[in-house]
Amino acid sequence: MRKYLLRRLLFGLVTLVGVSVIIFVVMRILPGDPLVAMFGIEGFAKLTPADRARIMEELGFSDALPVQYVRWLHDIGLGRLGKSFFRAESVADVILHRGPLSAEIGILSVVISWLVGLPVGIISAFRPNSWSDNVARSLAIVFLAIPGFWLGMLVVLALLFWFHFKAPLVIVHLWQDPWANFQLVIGPAVVLGLSQGAYIARMSRSCLLEVIREDFVRTARAKGLIEGLVVLRHALPNALLPVITVSGILMGFVLGGSVAVEQAFGVPGLGRALVTAVIERDIVVVQNLVLLYGVIFVVINVLVDLSYAWLDPRIRYR
């Protein structure tokens, strides 16, 4: 078990190094100059080449790329996430202030995906090819096909024109005002949750269809158990393993999708901070946020791997 865990962590570390290299290189080869955002168009036009070179040096971007990369990793090692070169905001503060909101959206969307996906999958599996199965499968395809940000914009417009509703414009944490916080997170969480729920529904349906043909399910029925207990006690736990694996991967999709969906809903979470940082070419913020997303993704996957043994005692790690 310990060996397995170490191996998984090592793989995770290699993945993170890969992510860090990619984002570091991408941010430097992307066209565009952060000085335009810093000085405005007029100010940028008046900067001489010497001014530009000096400011880039002050920002630490005139050193050789390997030097910059090692310095970045060194800073992360020391727990220094750096400062945005706009407004001198600390990246750690950005994460602490906006992170809880994005985490809420992520967790809530996974909960919604299970709440929606599992019942739909069960109904579809136990009544295959019925009208309810057909409706469920059609809806699943619809939600898989619709981009989250587009659905988000429709939801925002519908709420505005039908109910005159718009979520709060600033971050309100759960512990500050639960109702205002709920208004902020529920929209993106539902949109993300529905599309992930479609995956869960399809996956749980196919897994259940396999499991309910197994001998132990037939035995359970033969000994006179009611259908609900057959499903909940015997079929479902055995069908859940692949669904959990998918959920881990889906969490990654939720992280990625939240960037666009937060933007569509105007929710000031980490995803939106990332979009703004990309537009402003705020290299320090982009690098650290992308790496943070990478860390979260790797950690979730390791946790999913470890959860297998707990869920299925037959599994042993080597």
Binding site for another protein (CB under 8 A): 31-47, 51, 54-55, 86-89, 94, 97, 153, 156-157, 160, 164-166, 168-171, 266, 268, 272-273, 276, 279-281
53-54-56 Cα angle (round to 5): 65
Residue 26 or 157: the one with the smaller Cβ distance to another protein is 157
d(CA 301, CA 252): 9
Residue 171 or 295: the one with the smaller Cβ distance to another protein is 171
Task: Specify the amino acid at residue 279.
Answer: I
Residue 39 or 69: the one with the smaller Cβ distance to another protein is 39
Q: What is the DSSP string of 19-41?
A: HHHHHHHHHHHSS--HHHHHHHH
Q: How many residues does the chain have?
A: 318
Residue 37 or 81: the one with the smaller Cβ distance to another protein is 37
Minimum distance from residue 12 beta carbon to another protein (Å): 31
The structure tokens 């001489």 sit at 48
Minimum distance from residue 24 beta carbon to another protein (Å): 19
Minimum distance from residue 301 beta carbon to another protein (Å): 31
Residue 120 or 264: the one with the smaller Cβ distance to another protein is 264
Minimum distance from residue 235 beta carbon to another protein (Å): 46
Residue 143 or 265: the one with the smaller Cβ distance to another protein is 265
Q: What is the DSSP string of 79-147?
A: T---B-TTTT-BHHHHHHHHHHHHHHHHHHHHHHHHHHHHHHHHHHHHSTTSHHHHHHHHHHHHHHHS-
What 3-state DSSP class applies to 83?
strand
Minimum distance from residue 150 beta carbon to another protein (Å): 12
Find all residues with CB under 8 Å of 216, minimum gap 6, and list them. Answer: 234
Q: Considering only CA atoms, which of 306, 117, 132 is closest in space to residue 206?
A: 117
d(CA 111, CA 313): 25
Minimum distance from residue 191 beta carbon to another protein (Å): 15
Residue 252 or 266: the one with the smaller Cβ distance to another protein is 266
Minimum distance from residue 164 beta carbon to another protein (Å): 6
Sign of torsion, CA 91 96 101 105?
A: positive
Find all residues with CB under 8 Å of 229, minimum gap 6, and list them. Answer: 220
